[in-house]
């Protein structure tokens, strides 16, 4: 499994030294982790993901061009048609940018909604449904993923922290983890929004043996 650290804002360069596979930057202004300014130069092995919530198409493309983003995480009510339009615009940039569509889970989940997104995004991301589109700080019941009907790789997100190590290791032994491509962490490793706990992130990366 890969590691994605999201909500980057205040100590990006320090977090980058841990060499996660992905760093997430939130381009949704109401967020306390809203990213402005310039992304520091990162190791070429780190993929930069822009997180958007029902954003205007032009804004998304502008951010891709400005920050040379490698991925788009769509965290709102973006339709399959929206994803198709985004993909068409990205093609014009001649830059490979993955589309990650987020689905929020609380209790049961109707996996039928994934069908229309199968051919218009590269990954799914499953997060905990809460008051905000992400960063709510608690996990959902991962056993729901026993009913995952797809072979598309997905990111697992939602309040994951050091206290979930045993749970993650148990999950990795289950059939439903087969297509879990990456673990996505954020608020559980923060001193305050956007300021990450470096030592705890380092420990997390070490003990779950993410590769």
Burial 80-113 (b: 16+ CB within 10 A, else e): eebbeebeeebeeeeeebbbbbbbbbeeebeeee
Predicted confidence at residue 131, as pLDDT, reads: 62
Nearest-Å Rg of the Cα atoms of the chain is 16
What residues contact 98, with CB distance under 8 A and at least 6 apart?
47, 70, 71, 72, 122, 123
What angle, rounded to 10 degrees, do the helices at 57-67 and 80-93 form? 40
Residue 41 sits in a domain whose CATH number is 3.20.20.70
The three-state secondary structure class of 136 is coil
Per the CB < 8 A criterion, the answer to whether 46 and 68 are in contact is no
Split into its structural domains, the chain has a count of: 1
Q: Hey, which residues does 99 pair with through a beta bridge?
A: 72
- How much of the chain is in helix, strand and coil states, percent to nearest 5? 35, 25, 45
Per the CB < 8 A criterion, the answer to whether 138 and 159 are in contact is yes
Predicted confidence at residue 3, as pLDDT, reads: 95
Predicted confidence at residue 210, as pLDDT, reads: 60
Q: What is the pTM of this model?
A: 0.92
Predicted confidence at residue 85, as pLDDT, reads: 95
What residues contact 6, with CB distance under 8 A and at least 6 apart?
23, 24, 26, 49, 51, 73, 134, 135, 157, 184, 185, 186
Predicted confidence at residue 139, as pLDDT, reads: 84
Walking along the chain (211 residues) 10 residues at a time, the average pLDDT comes out as 95 96 97 94 96 97 96 96 94 90 90 95 90 63 92 94 91 93 94 96 86 49
C-alpha span between 51 and 26 (Å, rounded): 5
C-alpha span between 160 and 8 (Å, rounded): 16
Tell me the residue range of the domain where 64 lies. 2-207
């Amino acid at each position: 499994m890969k590691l994605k650290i999201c909500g980057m804002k205040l100590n990006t360069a320090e977090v980058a030294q841990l060499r996660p596979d992905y760093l997430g930057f939130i381009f949704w202004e109401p967020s306390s982790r809203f990213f402005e300014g310039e992304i520091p130069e990162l190791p070429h092995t780190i993929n930069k993901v822009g997180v958007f919530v029902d954003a205007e198409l032009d804004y998304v493309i502008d951010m891709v061009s400005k920050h040379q983003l490698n991925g788009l995480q769509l965290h709102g009510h973006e339709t399959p048609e929206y994803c198709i339009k985004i993909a068409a615009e990205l093609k014009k940039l001649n830059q490979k940018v993955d589309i990650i569509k987020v689905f929020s889970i609380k209790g049961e989940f109707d996996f039928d909604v994934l069908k229309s997104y199968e051919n218009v995004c590269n990954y799914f991301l499953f997060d905990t449904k809460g008051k905000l589109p992400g960063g709510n700080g608690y996990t959902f019941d991962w056993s729901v993923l026993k009913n995952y009907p797809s072979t598309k790789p997905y990111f697992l997100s939602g309040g994951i922290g050091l206290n979930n190590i045993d749970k993650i290791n148990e999950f990795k032994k289950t059939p439903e983890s087969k297509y879990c491509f990456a673990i996505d962490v954020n608020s559980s490793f923060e001193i305050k929004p956007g300021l990450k706990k470096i030592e705890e992130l380092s420990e997390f990366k070490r003990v779950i043996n993410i590769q």
